[in-house]
Amino acid sequence: MVKLAIGSFGDSFSVGSLKAYLAEFISTLLFVFAVVEPAIAYNKLTSNASLDPTGLVAIALAHAFALFMGVSMAANIFGGHLNPAVTLGLAVGGHITIITGIFYWIAQLLGSIIACFLLKFVTNDLVQYPNPRSRCRHDRSLWCGHGNSHHLRPCLH
């Protein structure tokens, strides 16, 4: 049943709420960092090889432990959402107000953005993003720029 409550800014800026937003930020930051870093490390250790069952299990365990860590770290402060979809569900169910949910979303998004910047810094740019204007790698991409072309075309090589 939908029980939307708008709430007030006064309630959303109480000391308890600010602690909850900070805990949400920190736990989401640590969760994203702990989830993405093993995938980057696995990719580097295997020289960009495809994911085998052992690597898949290792990365899945990293996800499980990171989620457990994030939720258990902040569960007694705010409930341990760690996910904007969970926050939306709580807001629609009337467990938190819409304004409080928006501040949780801001904390979650900022935490994940900062985690990505930290990963970029810590891994020393191990993640290589494809440049659409560079020559295609025929074994890795479905689209390429074919030399100096500025338009992506299907790679037919």
pLDDT tens-digit series, residues 109-122: 999 999 989 988 88
Tell me the CATH number at 49.
1.20.1080.10
106: pLDDT strictly greater than 90: yes
pLDDT tens digits for 10-50?
777 888 888 889 988 998 998 888 888 887 777 777 776 67
Residues 6+ apart with CB under 8 A from 35: 62, 63, 66
Exposed, middle or buried: residue 32 (CB in 10 Å: 0-12, 13-18, 19+)?
Answer: buried
pTM over 0.75: no
Does the residue 97 lie in any domain?
A: yes
Q: How many domains does the chain have?
A: 2
Full residue range of the structural domain in which residue 156 is found: 130-157
Give the pLDDT confidence score for residue 25 in this predicted structure.
92
Identify the residue with better confidence: 130 or 38: 38
Same domain (yes/no): 35, 69: yes
Same domain (yes/no): 105, 157: no
Which residue in this structure is represented by tokens 């006064």? 10
Which band of pLDDT confidence, cut at 50, 70 and 90, is reported for residue 124?
A: confident
Which residue in this structure is represented by tokens 């720029």? 145
Same domain (yes/no): 100, 153: no
Same domain (yes/no): 143, 98: no
Least confidently predicted of 62-66, 76-80, 145-149:
145-149
Give the pLDDT confidence score for residue 155 in this predicted structure.
47
